[in-house]
């Protein structure tokens, strides 16, 4: 009879870990690397938004390298895809962090693309002042998203 109880408890425990989507209670080093990459990507996109806003405000500044910014956006997209895959091997704590970081990073990437598009627009109805105001607003959004990502990742490190 005790063997049956042990077997039943084992099956219950196995079932609960399978249902959670996270396969390990221990933090995965590969997930930690991807989360660190998410933070790095966020900080790069924040710097890119600031650079684009400064360029539009001061036309004497050199234009930021569009290809570098596009690479930063692409790297953030890749990190998103990798984080999505990492959910399978993440600890429950890491999986929770990933769930917080993914939508914030998606919004960040979208805003970074908008910043780049508006900063590089050559023609259109927008005046220089309007474009500068628009980018300043986007920069604020980017800064807010980055601070939320960093906060989520800082809470994860506990």
Q: Which domains does the chain have, with CATH numbers?
A: 26-156 (1.20.120)
Residue 5 confidence (pLDDT): 47
Residue 28 confidence (pLDDT): 93
pLDDT exceeds 90 at position 12: no
pLDDT digits (tens, 9 = 90+) for 62-87: 677 788 999 999 999 999 999 999 99
Inter-residue contact 111 to 138 (CB < 8 Å)? yes
How many Cβ atoms sit within 10 Å of the Cβ of residue 70?
14
Residue 99 to residue 150: CA distance in whole angstroms = 14
pLDDT digits (tens, 9 = 90+) for 98-153: 999 999 999 999 999 988 887 777 655 556 677 788 888 888 999 999 999 999 99
Residue-level length of the chain:
158
SS (H, E, C) the chain: CHHHHHHHHHHHHHHHHHHCCCCCCCCCHHHHHHHHHHHHHHHHHHHHHHHHHHHHHCCCCCCCCHHHHHHHHHHHHHHHHHHHHHCCCCCHHHHHHHHHHHHHHHHHHHHHHHHHHHHHCCCCCCCHHHHHHHHHHHHHHHHHHHHHHHHHHHHHCC
- Closest to 81 in 3D by CA, of 40, 46, 36, 34: 34
- Indicate whether this model's pTM tops 0.85: no
Residue 157 confidence (pLDDT): 53
- Closest to 57 in 3D by CA, of 119, 3, 15: 119
Residue 90 confidence (pLDDT): 95
Q: Which residues contact 2 (CB under 8 A, 6 or more apart)?
A: none
Instruction: Please state, in angstroms and as integers, the Cα–Cα distance from residue 21 to each residue in 30, 66, 83, 114, following that order.
Output: 17, 39, 14, 34
């Amino acid at each position: 009879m005790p063997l049956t109880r042990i077997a039943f408890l084992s099956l219950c425990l196995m079932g609960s870990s399978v249902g959670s989507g996270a396969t390990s209670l221990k933090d995965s080093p590969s997930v930690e690397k991807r989360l660190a990459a998410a933070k790095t990507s966020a900080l790069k996109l924040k710097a890119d938004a600031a650079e684009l806003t400064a360029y539009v405000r001061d036309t004497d500044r050199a234009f930021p390298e569009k290809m570098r910014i596009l690479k930063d956006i692409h790297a953030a997209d890749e990190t998103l895809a990798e984080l999505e895959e990492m959910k399978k091997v993440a600890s429950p704590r890491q999986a929770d962090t990933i769930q917080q970081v993914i939508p914030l990073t998606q919004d960040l990437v979208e805003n970074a693309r908008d910043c780049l598009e508006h900063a590089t627009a050559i023609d259109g109805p927008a005046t220089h002042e309007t474009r500068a105001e628009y980018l300043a607003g986007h920069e604020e959004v980017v800064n807010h998203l980055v601070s939320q990502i960093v906060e989520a990742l800082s809470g994860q490190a506990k």
